Chains A and B, each alone.
Chain A
Amino acid sequence: MLAATGPNCNRSAGEEFDRLVERHQTALLRLCMVYLRDGELAKDAVQETYLKAYQALPHFRGECGEKTWLTRIAVNVCRDMARSAYFRHTDRRVTPEEMPDRPGEEAPPEREALAQALLELPRRYKDAVLLYYYQDLSQEEVGKALGLSAATVSRRLERARRMLKTALKGKWENE
């Protein structure tokens, strides 16, 4: 929790901000990468996220986890960017198979398949899956983040699971 080490302790806001950047930048990059499917756009989104966070930091009272806080900002930034002209008209995405192999870091095929299936989910289902399963928010929190009822989130998660199951075919049960 940020409150224990946050703006109210002896650190300056600048130091606190540096810590937030160092601690969460990589996770946010990965989240944004999945949303935007483009490394450069993901970097932009993370920069925008931290800009918003920097401006809001003096008002952040540590009422929730810093990760949740940053994630909420990042998701909104990604949604905005996904609607932007830049995103729509620039096909600069990177898919897993385009990434260079790195000895010792190859992902197992089933993980690649799941990543690919996840990427191919329609956005409204992908949003729910990422917030619920990857960012570990509750269904109610996901609903608040997306402007949906918890029941709708639940339906979307159920639908997303079915879509993933279909996409993964026989690999599903072996996961």
Chain B
Amino acid sequence: MNDRKMRNSIHLAVDGYGRELKPDPFLAARVRAQAQRKDGRKMKKIRFSAAFILAALLSLLTVTALAATAYTFIRQARSVQQEKGPLEKWTLEEKKMILEAMQRDGLALDEEKYAALEDAQGEAAQRIANELLLESRLPREALKETYGFEEASFSLFEKTVSIDEAAEAWVVAYRPRRWEERIGSYTVRLSAGSGRVTACAWSLDGLEENAFQPDNWHAAHWPMERVNRLLSFEADREARRAEKEAAEGPFEAWPLRDKAAFDEEILTQGYPRGDFVVNILPDAEDIPESGALAMAQAEAERMGAKEEERAAEQISFFLMPDDSREWLIALRGGYTVEIASPSGEVLSCAGPEKSEREESENTAQAADGDWIQAAWEAMKETYGLIEETRPFFSAQLEGENGGAKVTFTSKHYNPRLAGDYVFTLRGETGEILSSQWTLQEAYAQQGKAEPWRTARLWSAYEFNQEALLREKGRKIMAEAGSEVSWGMDFEHQAAYDTLYREAGFSRETYFHGLPTALDIPKEEAVFLAAQAVKEKYGAAEETLELAGPALAFDVTDPDAPVWRVSFLDRESMYAVALSGAGGQVLSCVRMDAGN
């Protein structure tokens, strides 16, 4: 792999890895409020994750088994399943076909929802169909009762729903996302005829008791009680640490022995530490604390640290994930030194922030504009790109045999997805001598994807679609009088996000939607949210009136949409999540700018 391929691959890998993270529309406002309150004091982080965590949990609730009678519909469902895979990949028509078969088989469907399905379109229709097909939550209840699952523990599992070979039962399987060998997997069977739970099984049922000993995470296998404990262990440690930090200051600044004592239980309990470091004390073979500090100070001095900048600020000694040991010493002047022990190798020495350097840009100079323009015109003509896509590309100009070579590379998308468009031009006339698109053959094999945004390789078609999409998005923003894509009123924001979702963009990023007839209206959502805040925090009516609300109908999970109502002022933010359909309060939290 050459350097350029390496760069492309890493861009793709990193972009792909973080693709699920959605931008926070409140970030700019919150940061400003936080900065205004700072007053020279070090601020603690504001955490806004509770609602998102809950939303993630809820997403696991939605795909559950169907209370069904056997016969036609289940055979049809099996057939669709074999062809298309899980329910998420079924078309609306296929779902409607199954629902019709269910009616013919005598199943009583919710009449109100079934009627609403007739009138609904797009995502709303998909959601209603899913609800009609899969609204039982029996498997979760069965696992709670039989094996002691707690609600939070389901977050560790991935669920799949299938129909068994004999077409007699729905099989709901829960497989842990991590530590499968230790946790095992769970299965719940529901009779296709009655919809009742007929069996609950655990892959580790029948193991001898000693397989679960000792009673901590050193054991080869973990019953559900220990899995539950794993989650509470983290929370308990957080609470204890916070209490001690309140009295003694930040963890990093605690004495070495206190940090090691605090972390000791991680080792004794066998808590799966992954690649996290653990604070320990050095033993006789390790570099002693005084020696490590002297080495760190020498390194800092070499980097130009003055004497007063070389005083120790924080000293830690770590057991690393690979069981190597390492000193980490932070000095007052912002120098941080890592030293391997017992070898004494200086692993890194970072100084305080340096001034920024001029960013190197590989763009053509103005005098080269004619060459580039000529190549761009050829690019449009040859490959069908529209003018609006020009901002998507950067151009690189190189002299070649008295003429020029112009290469257009995508600025906004990874070059591996878009390829290079390369043109050679004759020296005197600027005539185009050759043109090449490096993905021509690969794209021909791939063909067009549906929706277009999901295509792995992008041709002119996808770039044109992208440009048109942005134009539509800009129009919605203009209608809303907004210059940013996340600052629109409720209806325009929903229209904007729907546009992007339907083009294949992530639902988590473009999560705003509109409620259907089955959901509570926004006025009711605001009322219920305000009630929840008043009851929980005693907030006054006038405070809430002044503070908002900001509204979102979050359709990240189309089967379980969530009303998100926030009351935001300069001091704090009340964030309430309500189920879209019933208005039940899923979470109600207050986040103060200073905590």
CB of B501, distance to nearest CB on chain A (Å)? 11
CB-contacts of A12-39 with B (<8 A): 14, 17-18, 21-22, 25-26, 29-31, 33-34, 39
Smallest CB gap from B266: residue in A: A89
Smallest CB gap from A79: residue in B: B350
Complex formed: what's the CA distance from A160 to B21 in Å?
27
Residue pair B348, A88 in contact (C-beta under 8 Å): no
Inter-chain CB contacts under 8 Å: number: 218
CB of A77, distance to nearest CB on chain B (Å)? 11
Question: Quick one: given A30-B14, A85-B241, A87-B276, are A72 and B353 in contact (CB under 8 Å)?
Answer: yes
Fill in one digit per residue for A155-175: 1 if any B CB lies within 8 Å of its CB, else 0. Answer: 000000100010000001101
A4 contacts the other chain (Cβ, under 8 Å)?
no
Residue pair A65, B359 in contact (C-beta under 8 Å): yes
Smallest CB gap from B299: residue in A: A147
A8 contacts the other chain (Cβ, under 8 Å)?
no
CB-CB < 8 A to A145: which residues of B?
354
Interface centre among A18, A85, A103, A122 (most CB of B within 10 A): A85
B136 contacts the other chain (Cβ, under 8 Å)?
no
B119 contacts the other chain (Cβ, under 8 Å)?
no
Smallest CB gap from B330: residue in A: A83
Smallest CB gap from A44: residue in B: B45
- B22-30, B99-107, B203-211: which one contacts chain A? B22-30
Complex formed: what's the CA distance from A22 to B484 in Å?
7
Residue pair A31, B14 in contact (C-beta under 8 Å): yes
Residue pair A147, B359 in contact (C-beta under 8 Å): no
Residue pair B27, A50 in contact (C-beta under 8 Å): yes
Residue pair B17, A51 in contact (C-beta under 8 Å): no
CB-contacts of B34-78 with A (<8 A): 34-35, 38, 43, 45-49, 52-53, 59
Residue pair A83, B252 in contact (C-beta under 8 Å): yes
Residue pair B21, A124 in contact (C-beta under 8 Å): no
CB-CB < 8 A to A76: which residues of B?
353
Residue pair B14, A50 in contact (C-beta under 8 Å): no
CB of A150, distance to nearest CB on chain B (Å)? 12
Question: Quick one: given A161-B6, A175-B1, are A118 and B13 in contact (CB under 8 Å)?
Answer: yes
A115 contacts the other chain (Cβ, under 8 Å)?
yes
Number of interface residues of B (CB under 8 A): 92
Residue pair B358, A63 in contact (C-beta under 8 Å): yes
Residue pair B10, A133 in contact (C-beta under 8 Å): yes
CB-CB < 8 A to B1: which residues of A?
165, 172-173, 175
CB of A144, distance to nearest CB on chain B (Å)? 5
Complex formed: what's the CA distance from A141 to B353 in Å?
12
A78 contacts the other chain (Cβ, under 8 Å)?
no
Which one, A34, A93, A130, A144, contacts B274 given CB within 8 A?
A93
Residue pair B13, A114 in contact (C-beta under 8 Å): yes
Residue pair A111, B16 in contact (C-beta under 8 Å): yes
Residue pair B177, A89 in contact (C-beta under 8 Å): no
B451 contacts the other chain (Cβ, under 8 Å)?
yes
Residue pair A69, B356 in contact (C-beta under 8 Å): yes
Interface centre among B5, B15, B335, B351 (most CB of A within 10 A): B15
- For chain A, the bracket of interface size reads 35 or more
B185 contacts the other chain (Cβ, under 8 Å)?
no
B534 contacts the other chain (Cβ, under 8 Å)?
no
Residue pair A17, B21 in contact (C-beta under 8 Å): no
Which one, B14, B47, B250, B348, contacts A147 given CB within 8 A?
B348
Question: Quick one: given A17-B32, A21-B27, A50-B28, are A44 and B14 in contact (CB under 8 Å)?
Answer: no
B485 contacts the other chain (Cβ, under 8 Å)?
yes
Question: Quick one: given A14-B32, A18-B484, A25-B27, are A91 and B17 in contact (CB under 8 Å)?
Answer: no
Residue pair B456, A108 in contact (C-beta under 8 Å): yes
Which one, B27, B177, B353, contacts A46 given CB within 8 A?
B27
Complex formed: what's the CA distance from A55 to B330 in Å?
24
Residue pair A114, B49 in contact (C-beta under 8 Å): no
CB-CB < 8 A to B178: which residues of A?
95, 98
Complex formed: what's the CA distance from A68 to B356 in Å?
8
CB of A118, distance to nearest CB on chain B (Å)? 6
Question: Quick one: given A89-B266, A146-B348, are A25 and B504 in contact (CB under 8 Å)?
Answer: no
B255 contacts the other chain (Cβ, under 8 Å)?
no
Residue pair A43, B507 in contact (C-beta under 8 Å): no
Question: Quick one: given A21-B31, A134-B14, are A175 and B456 in contact (CB under 8 Å)?
Answer: no
Question: Quick one: given A33-B17, A148-B348, are A68 and B35 in contact (CB under 8 Å)?
Answer: no
CB of B243, distance to nearest CB on chain A (Å)? 13
Question: Quick one: given A26-B21, A65-B359, are A104 and B31 in contact (CB under 8 Å)?
Answer: no
Residue pair B49, A147 in contact (C-beta under 8 Å): no
CB of A115, distance to nearest CB on chain B (Å)? 4
CB of A5, distance to nearest CB on chain B (Å)? 13
Question: Quick one: given A93-B274, A175-B1, are A29 and B23 in contact (CB under 8 Å)?
Answer: yes
A64 contacts the other chain (Cβ, under 8 Å)?
yes
CB of B50, distance to nearest CB on chain A (Å)? 10
Complex formed: what's the CA distance from A1 to B504 in Å?
31
Residue pair A107, B27 in contact (C-beta under 8 Å): no
CB of A45, distance to nearest CB on chain B (Å)? 9
Which one, B12, B18, B28, B251, contacts A111 given CB within 8 A?
B12
Residue pair B484, A34 in contact (C-beta under 8 Å): no
Residue pair A99, B276 in contact (C-beta under 8 Å): no
CB-CB < 8 A to A108: which residues of B?
456
Smallest CB gap from A21: residue in B: B28
Residue pair A134, B251 in contact (C-beta under 8 Å): no
Residue pair B456, A147 in contact (C-beta under 8 Å): no
CB-CB < 8 A to B350: which residues of A?
79, 146-147
Residue pair B10, A99 in contact (C-beta under 8 Å): no
Smallest CB gap from A22: residue in B: B484
Complex formed: what's the CA distance from A97 to B177 in Å?
8
- 24 of the cross-chain contacts (CB-CB < 8 Å) are A17-B32, A18-B484, A21-B31, A29-B21, A30-B15, A34-B14, A42-B18, A43-B21, A44-B45, A67-B359, A68-B357, A85-B251, A86-B238, A88-B263, A88-B276, A88-B277, A89-B263, A103-B89, A103-B454, A104-B451, A107-B12, A133-B7, A147-B348, A148-B348
